[in-house]
Amino acid sequence: MSTPSRPALHALAERLGELGVLDAPAKAVGKLVRSAIPRGPVKDALSGTWLGHGLHPLLTDVPIGTWTSATILDLVGGRAGRRGADRLLAVGVIAATPTAVTGLSDWADTEPASDGVRRIGSVHALANVTALGLYAASLAARAGGRRGAGVTLGLAGAGALAVGGHLGGHLSYARGVGVDTHAFDRPVADWEDVLAEAEVPEGGLRVAAVDGEPVLLARHGGELFALADRCAHRQGPLHEGELVDGCVECPLHGSRFALADGSVERGPSAYPQPAYETRVREGRIEVRRP
């Protein structure tokens, strides 16, 4: 059977995911970013845990919007549009800093490297940093009276921004980075037999399959709880994590979810974990998710 065809730009983005030469520097930078951003309120703020979805995509609207508007004014705004174009460039340069910080925070969590996402994200970041540098140089040229050079640098910045935007869209929509990994899960209306009650001791974490999906089973304070086992953030196996104050902590990036209802107690996940109802019948644990 032949492989379905894809648009050329999609194929090009995927080829970037094969560049193993990016792994060593990306691993080093990712480690540096994770050590600089502690888990807890700071990481949650940058990840958009408080917002209910990623913060980075929201912030990108400002530099993309201002820089694009500046380019339009440069091309068709005439003399009247020059001052507006310059001001828009400045706003975009300023807004690019928090946008880049949130993007770096998200990118540092794109592991493992084997799926190519971190490599594509590396080129996405390089393209955007290049765009920022070109726009900043454009602003400096304009301030120095070299408007022609400034406009040329701005157009080059727009090209780099387009590359970064395409790769950002590819990461989000083709690779699912930053989306709720349970967005398309199906409900389990009927009770499903999963494990013997004795197999889940106090403080223990176990995993079982329900309709083909892994489900985490935990006992805390004498009660049984069940959550989807794949972390909503980056699909970390929660059964390999640990229990902390009535929550399960993901072993990959440290997100914590309340056992009682799957709500996010600590990010970087911005999405709650699907919770299942539990009951015990004749020594067997049954679960469902209406």
Based on the fold, state whether residues 33 and 166 are members of the same structural domain: yes
Average pLDDT for residues 221-241, to the nearest whole number?
Answer: 96
Assign 254 a pLDDT band (cuts: 50, 70, 90). Answer: very high
Output the pLDDT for position 189: 85
Average pLDDT for residues 164-173, to the nearest whole number?
Answer: 96
Cα–Cα dist 103/57, whole Å: 8
Q: Is 35 inside any structural domain?
A: yes
Q: Tell me which residue of 168, 52, 154 sits closest to 99, measured CA to CA.
A: 168
Output the pLDDT for position 3: 64
Based on the fold, state whether residues 43 and 143 are members of the same structural domain: yes
Based on the fold, state whether residues 239 and 165 are members of the same structural domain: no
Lowest mean pLDDT segment, chosen from 27-41, 50-64, 107-121, 234-248: 107-121
Cα–Cα dist 128/165, whole Å: 8
Output the pLDDT for position 2: 62
pLDDT, tens only, 257-281? 999 999 999 999 999 999 999 999 9
Which CA distances in Å does 244 have to 49, 73, 268? 19, 55, 16
Quote the percentage of the chain above a pLDDT of 90: 91
Q: Which residues contact 4 (CB under 8 A, 6 or more apart)?
A: none
Q: Tell me which residue of 54, 160, 167 sits closest to 118, measured CA to CA.
A: 167
State the residue range of the domain holding 51: 8-174
Based on the fold, state whether residues 87 and 170 are members of the same structural domain: yes
Cα–Cα dist 174/14, whole Å: 10
Output the pLDDT for position 236: 94
